[in-house]
Structure formats: C-alpha cells, structure tokens
Amino acid sequence: MTFSNRTHALSTLNRYWIILLPLFFVLGCTTKTGKGEQALSSKRIQQVDFSQVKITDNFWSPRLKSHVTTTLPVCIDQIEHKTGRIRNFENAANKSGEHSGIFYDDSDVYKALEGMAYSLINYPDPQLEQKCDEWIEKFAAAQEPDGYINTFYSLTDLNKRWDNMDKHEMYCAGHMIEAAVAYYQATGKRTLLDVSIRMVEHMMSLFGPDKRHWVPGHEEIELALVKLYKVTNEEKYLDFAYWLLEERGHGHGSKGSEGTWNPIYYQDEVPVRDLEEITGHAVRAMYLFCGMADVAALKQDEGYMRALDRLWDDVVLRKMYITGGIGSSRHNEGFTEPYDLPNYEAYCETCASVGMVLWNSRMNELTGDAKYVDVLERSLYNGALAGISLRGDLFFYVNPLASHGDHHRRAWYGTACCPSQVSRFLPSIGNYIYGLSEDAVWVNLYVGNNAEIKTGKKGKERFTLQQATDYPWDGNVKLSVKALRKPMEKEIRLRIPDWCENYSIAVNGEAIEGVPVEKGYAVIDRLWNENDEITLTMDMPVKMVQADPRVKENIDKRSVQRGPLVYCMEEVDNPSFDELTLSADTRFNTAFVPSLLNGVTTIEAVTGDQTITFIPYYAWDNREAGQMKVWVDYK
C-alpha cells in the first residue's frame, strides 16, 4: 500500500518553503512536538556508535576511504610542515621560540587528531596511530606544571592567561578533551586523557561557585566536559559544564582590555534558559545548544529543553537556508534579522552546518521526533558535504548559494577550523544512522551498512542490521535482520523523510497496510526472526521549491530538490547561464551519470526549447571555474 498526504510530510519544510511539483502546489500540514511531553530523566534514544556501523554503500564508503588517503594527509601536512601549529607545541615544551599563527590554532591540531582517532576505529593503521602518539607526546610536554596548556600564552606571556574571555582558552581545551576521549576510546591509551583532566582540574581550581566568574567567548568546553564526564563517571565535570552554561546572561562576560563585550554576539544577553531567538556567531551558538541539550538530558532540566524548542523553531523556520546552512552574515559569521538570507553574500560556514548535524542529532535523541533528523539530513547532504571537494583535498569555509565564478575551495585557511572540522566529522558519519531505545531500533538515515546492535541488559544481546540502498540517488531501501540468537520483539522505526510524500513498506515481500506513523517514524512492531527483511520504497520526484515570500532575495525564483539533495546550476553545463529560467510548464528528466563528479544523478529542466542542467549542490566547484546558483528565475 502506498501512503500519501502525511501529516508529518513536509511539516518542517513547508513552514519555511513552499514545495512545488511541476504542475501543482503541495500544501503541507504543521506538527509540533508537545512541550514537556516526557520527563528528561534520560535521553529517549541512545545513539548507536559508528564503531558498531560498517558503511558499505557507494556514496559514503568512497568518501571515508578518501578521508584516510587524502584528507587526513592534507591536514597532517599543513599542521606539521606548512604552518607552525605543531611547532608551537614543540616550542612551548622547550620554553623557547615564538608563537606563530593565531591564538586559537591549537584547536585545529586537536580536531585533526580527533579525526585521526575516528579513522583508526574505521580503518586501523599502525603508522597513523604512531603519528597520533608522537603528537600527544608533544602536547604532554607542552603542559605547564599547574596543568594549564595553551601554546599561545605559554609562548607569549603566562601572566596574561585567563584575562580575556574571548581568547579561546576553554575552546581549545574543549577540543583537546574531545580528541582525548576519541583517542582513548579508539586505542585505550590515556596519556592525552590525563593531560585533559589536569587542564580541567586547573580550570576548576580558578572558576566555579564561590570562585571567579567566566563566560567562554567561544562555546565548546561545555559539551566536551559532558564527554569527559561520560568516560570518567566524575560528576564534577558535568557540574562544571552546567555552571559554565548558567554563567551566561548575568553580566559576567567581558572581552578584557581589547574591546567591548557584545552579549548578543556571544549568546550572553540573557540566561540560556530564557533564550528566545538565535543570535550572534553561528558556530558558537551550535556548540552552546549542543552543550545545553547534553546537560538537559543528564540534569533533567526541562527549562533548557523548552529554550531549545524555541531556538530550533527560530533558526529552522526563519534563519536557515534550503541547504541546511546557517549564519547569513559575514560581518558576524552569524545571524541578523529573520528571513535575511542573501545568496551571493551567504556565509553559511561549513562548521555551522556540521554544528546543525550535532545539535539536531541530540534533539532527536531527547524527543524521538524525526523532524530533527530531517534537518540533520538536509545539513549533512548539502551544507556540510559541500565543505569538501570530491577529491577530499580542498575545503570551503564559506558556502554561498550563488557565485560569480570567483569562489573556490582552498587547501587550508589562516583560520582553519573548517578543514579540521571536516576531518573529524566525516569518519563519524555512522553515528547518525541508527538509534536505540528500550523498545525500539530507530532507523534515521538510509546508508548502506552492516551494523551490530547491542541490546538487552548491559548490551549482552546482539543482532545485526544490514542496510542496502542507492540513496540518495533513489529511495529504495532493504533492511535485513541478521545474527539473531532467538526471536526478538522490538519495534523497528523507519524515518519517513519530510521530502517523501508517497512510500510503501513490505516485510519479507508482503506489503503492510496501515503502518502507524509517530512523529515521522513508521512503526513496525512484531516478533523479528533471523533473515527477516523490510523493504521501504520511497518515491523520489523532482520538486520545485518556492521560498517564503519574506525572503526578499528569492522573490520570483525557484530552486530544485530531489530527495535529500538540493540542486544547483553551474555555468559549465549551462553556457546561457543568465538567460535560463524555470516555469510552471517545466518538465524534469533525471539520469545517473557514473562518469560525472564521481557519479551523480543530474536533473534536466526542460521548458519549451530551453534546457537547464542541474547537479547536486554539494558537487559544485569541482570542475572549471564558472558561475553557480541555487535559486533560478521563475517566469
């Protein structure tokens, strides 16, 4: 049976965009997760860690391999040879030499190390592990006797440390903690974990209740402390994260002697539980919201969750691009007024799109609502994936939705947060495919893989899910249950993406009618046996998208989307670039072209004797230079 006109379908998207089929409007309905529906005693869903998921498909698997062969070597070469980032640690250890680069450059080294650690989980490599150990030895040697570690202050003036809240000391420490936890989980080695603990103990000796106030200018430490708490079971680290979040909005923030603290830019205008709208720097906001979500789950703070609900509505319904990118302004690398979404001037930092994935994953785990994975998927396949070239060696910092042909990826940046961010994000993609709760397995993303799911008391029971699909090129998915020792009674919840209006479900070849849908998930509740197979078939038509009329830049324009992918037109395929338009009479043809851009489904939009060729937005700027745009004139 084919289902259509779903309440959940397009509920998020239609409140911001109007989806157009070639010949008619599709009017979506609005659904909202009720406030305070459940106590936040714990996350409703636990993420199935990517270490349990082996990706096998033709879309993501080659990218994971190029991450190992190309992306990581590029980052290592930049850090060791082309910049002074690793030399800063060597100089700090030797108490000699100068600091080169910017005061937050340590963070790039830590993020690259985190990516190396994740790579070791996916693809064990003794040489890469040895490289990690060499770096960690340098970090440990650079640590001050009191536990402090930051090469900028060690090589300039330690007397000035902790004088300026915007000097990223806690930000760098947070990325070190994340790398330490990742490497400990990958190898069991705890040298960097111990270095991190000493740094946290140093910070806690200075800041906290009845001590000094501190508002980190760039959030990150908060979510990192939660990771440290989870791996050490030391509740004081969770408490410190909570204290840092609670410091905001009480007038404690200052930028020291170098300028005036802008509370809006730093998310410091009101206490975090009172936040009504997303403001300021986009990446800082994402890390803040991730920390709030983590603490909300562990501290049972429903005030935080209500704030996150409000903030999510604000960013997704009023300040998010169709690509899932956020942060429209280059002046503050962040937000301005609602619906201010320029195309050529769009900032959409790659790090911010990754942040949308991280935040929306947490929101889904807290609520069990698929709308968060819908946004996660949009940001993943479009905003974040565009941040790296198809070869894996060049990176975007800024991701505009239109270009005059002068915007290109680079091998590195003076501020290199985005290359190092991508290097740690890509190998962890498997984190977002499955979730697990007491009564259900949640299938969030459609990616070919073999996953070992641990269930039962203390994870002693296990079974395997095998997912086969050519997603995102088509909507056919086969999910097989394997390695069951005995029949299993557990729901399998399949996310029905917000772009999908018609789909069918079969179990062992037999169509199932009337499958209930809860918060965007089709719920199949039955006794599962070895080799049971679910088939999900989702129609994937081409759609034209009309922006909210309050987005002035896109009046009388349309964009094109198919499945989770936003498409764009490049001048290299369309020599009459400025003359081409879409209309209500436009017909769409699709074809998979294996030889183009590592294999993509192209879309041809035919209007009379005019044809426009569209490619996925993530793949633009991988050929000869030329113009590009997502939003096309509509006549």
Q: Which residues does the annotation mark as catalytic?
A: 333, 417
Residues 228, 196 contacting (CB under 8 angstroms)? yes
Give CA–CA dist 309/359, Å, rounded: 12
Beta bridge partners of 55: 449
Residues 352, 346 contacting (CB under 8 angstroms)? no
Give CA–CA dist 356/350, Å, rounded: 10
Task: State the burial class of residue 470 (Cβ atoms within 10 Å of its Cβ: 0-12, 13-18, 19+).
Answer: middle
**Exposure string over 335-373, b if 16+ CB within 10 A, otherwise e:** beeebbbbbebbbbbbbbbbbbbbbbbbbbbbbbbbbbb
Specify the amino acid at residue 489: E
**Exposure string over 185-203, b if 16+ CB within 10 A, otherwise e:** bbeebeebbebbbbbbebb
CA 226-231-232 angle, 5° bins: 95
Find the radius of gyration of the CA atoms of the chain. Answer: 24
Place of tokens 């910017």: 102
Place of tokens 């060696």: 393
Residues 510, 548 contacting (CB under 8 angstroms)? no
- What is the sign of the dihedral through the CA atoms of 303, 306, 310 and 312? positive
Give CA–CA dist 544/553, Å, rounded: 17
Place of tokens 């979506």: 28
